[in-house]
Amino acid sequence: MRRLAIWCCAPLVLCLCGCVKRAPREAAQPAPQSPQRAQIEEVSFIRDFQPTGVAVSSTGRIFVNFPRWDPEHYCSVGEITSDMTLRKYPDDEWNSWQKGKDAKDRFVCVQSVYVDKNDYLWALDAGAPNFEKVVKDGPKLVKIATGNNKVSTVVYFDQQIAPDGSYLNDVRIDPAGEYAYITDSGLGAIIVVNLVSGEKRRLLAKHYSVKALKGYAPVIGGREWRLDSGEVPQINADGIALSPDGSWLYYHALTARALYRIRTEYLKDWSVAPQMVESKVEYVADTGATDGMETDKGGNLYLTALEKNAVIRMDADGKVTTVAADDRLQWPDSICITPDGTLYVTTSQIHLMPRFNNGVPRRTMPYRIFRLKIPEG
């Protein structure tokens, strides 16, 4: 197990050399004082490796994932342990893929992790390192039993479900554990998996609700988010969330303003033709650029607001409030909410990567994970 500079609920950092040093303290950022907002608490930080997803088990175990976007890649899925190390999860072999290797039983480019109500960890592998061509046997959904840390099921996606150009982004498992819902942010689509029968289908692939909004340039960190070429990245269906009872699926293209939803009964019923599924999509609201999404047990929907360095909440009546806003939320990425009402959020600093800043690295190490107690209401 490699010791990394990771802090977890303590002011000490374990360095690569194994010695213990006191972590430098940054100037405290003023927390918003509005009664509708919660103060964020730093849970951990990770040096050098860029996390996107976070998932927390019912026992408080914290899992993170690292897409293969940078030349140096330590692991795809890791667990932040109590002794302040990052442990490759579930083992070294699953995290051992290199270009040219068989990808069948190895992670290639994991974009998100999710813990279901039975404490299974699901790791979604886009199978497309650095957003390039999809690797054979790369796109997959891996189910891991956190009780014994063993892989229990692997769902593979062929070219029909994850064609070249696709990038599997986020996943949710329905409360019964029978269906998985996945967004494709590369080409734009919703993928539905019957976890009992193994059937899969790709839906809404031509529908506007899963597509980036042309001409929309999110202003993140005070600057329009653009590639070095000046073009706005076209990131399609990204964030995804299920209502607590699993009857509604919410989703949002990243570079778009609108949030949509659809009843899952239409997604789960293979007799409903794809064209009919498209007619069942409902517009919810304009929220601006959003990455991660999740619902709490009361049915409130939480979204990361990239242009505001914030997490916002939409209640059942459509009322939107800011739950937390802080300059430290540099590209709030993925959200997970534990049963006790604690929200965890990663800060991936995507807008500060060299590819969006004329080749200049503007990310500030380390990457941080925050949590906050969800306000009542």
Domain ranges of the chain: 6-27+48-373
- 102 near 25, Cβ under 8 Å? no
- Which pair of tokens denotes residue 314? 């939409």
Amino acid symbol at 320? V
Beta strands in 137-232 (DSSP E): 140-145, 150-156, 168-173, 179-184, 189-194, 200-203, 219-220, 223-224
- Cα–Cα dist 239/183, whole Å: 7
Per-residue confidence band for 14, with pLDDT thresholds at 50, 70 and 90:
very low
Q: In what order do the strands lie in the sheet with 258-263?
A: 237-242, 248-253, 258-263, 282-286
Helix extents (H) in 222-283: 264-268, 274-278
What element of type H or E holds 120?
A: strand 120-125
What per-residue confidence (pLDDT) applies to 377? Answer: 60
- Cα–Cα dist 69/128, whole Å: 10
What per-residue confidence (pLDDT) applies to 6? Answer: 39
- What count of other Cβ atoms lies within 10 Å of the Cβ of residue 240? 22
- Which pair of tokens denotes residue 181? 């819902």
- 304 near 335, Cβ under 8 Å? yes
- Cα–Cα dist 248/343, whole Å: 21
Closest CA to 42 of 33, 29, 52: 29
199-251 pLDDT tens trace: 999 999 999 999 999 999 999 999 999 999 999 999 999 999 999 999 999 99
Amino acid symbol at 206? K
32-88 pLDDT tens trace: 334 457 899 999 888 888 999 999 999 999 999 999 998 889 999 999 988 778 999
pTM comes to 0.90
- Which pair of tokens denotes residue 368? 């941080």
| Beta carbons within 8 Å of 61's beta carbon, 6+ residues apart | 79, 146
Helix extents (H) in the chain: 264-268, 274-278
> How big is the chain, counted in residues?
377
What per-residue confidence (pLDDT) applies to 376? Answer: 75
Closest CA to 183 of 208, 164, 162: 162
- What count of other Cβ atoms lies within 10 Å of the Cβ of residue 136? 14
The answer, yes or no, to whether residue 27 has pLDDT greater than 90, is no
Tell whether omega for the bond before 218 is within 30 degrees of 0, i.e. cis.
no
Amino acid symbol at 61? R
C-alpha 4: how far from its chain's center? 22
Per-residue confidence band for 375, with pLDDT thresholds at 50, 70 and 90:
confident
Burial 241-274 (b: 16+ CB within 10 A, else e): bbbeebebbbbbbbbbebbbbbebebbbeeeeee
What per-residue confidence (pLDDT) applies to 104? Answer: 96
Phi then psi dihedrals of residue 206, to 5 deg = -115, 10
The answer, yes or no, to whether residue 106 has pLDDT greater than 80, is yes
- Can you tell me the mean pLDDT for 85-113? 96
What per-residue confidence (pLDDT) applies to 29? Answer: 36
Residue for token pair 């942010």: 185
Q: Which fold has domain 6-27+48-373?
A: Neuraminidase (2.120.10)
259-283 pLDDT tens trace: 999 999 999 999 999 999 999 999 9
- Can you tell me the mean pLDDT for 287-298? 97
